[in-house]
Amino acid sequence: MMSDKGADTEVQKQVLRSLREFYPIKVDDIVLIAAVQKVIKDASVDQITKDIAVMRDSGLVEETVIKAPFGKTETKRLKITSTGIERLQGLEEREVKGVVSAKEIESRLIETYDRIKGDLEAMRQNLEASQKSLETEMVEMRKRIADHDQVIRTYFVRVIETFGVFVGIFAVVVVTLQTGIVTATNAILNGKADPIFFLLFVIGIALTVAVVILALLYGIRKLVLIPPKTM
């Protein structure tokens, strides 16, 4: 059992601490007194000696007396006992508990928990906001892609339709030109038409074809190749 007596003063606690540093070696009392005075400046030799005697009687310190082979000189060697170590550990635990109480530790843990919980909640809200923003952007992007796809489809349809109209008109003009040339040639061969009139007729048809082609190309450029401006 751990003794309830001894180690009640700062000098006694320091004696036990110093002996624990030297443990398991036995220390001369002179060396021990010097070690205690190094920490507690105002501790006197008599006070330290009396406290050592109290702890020896309490079983906290083991004392061995060494006599010199010659003369009457005696040297006291001291060592902390297992009871003394337990007593010192108990005192140190009390000091730690006195510095930071269990209630204060609990309060700090709760505060830390609340702070971490608040940080996690803020992070969750930021993630939700970022997710909603990303979903909105994706919806807008899909809409823009669909609009562009519709524009491209409409563009190609208009190109095909315009090309069909161009080919049809061009075919009509070519057929008309060919028919006119054949008719004029027959009239000249039969002596019913003037060659100069035939030449003017051919030139007129060629100019008409050129004007029609240019008009169609301009219409294709303005109405098909140049896409309409979007708001």
pLDDT tens-place string over residues 208-226: 777 777 777 777 666 655 6
**What percentage of residues in the chain have a pLDDT greater than 90?**
0
Q: Which two tokens stand for residue 179?
A: 């028919």
- Radius of gyration (Cα) for the chain, nearest Å? 57
Mean pLDDT (whole number) for 101-107: 67
Does pTM top 0.75 for this prediction?
A: no
Residue positions counted in the chain: 231
| E runs forming strands in 104-163 | none
Q: Are 220 and 207 in contact (CB under 8 A)?
A: no
CATH architecture of 10-99: Orthogonal Bundle (1.10)
Question: What are the sequence ranges of the domains in the chain?
Answer: 10-99, 108-225
User: According to the model, what pLDDT value does residue 78 have?
Assistant: 87
Q: Are strands 74-80 and 27-28 parallel, antiparallel or unpaired?
A: antiparallel
Q: Are 62 and 110 in contact (CB under 8 A)?
A: no
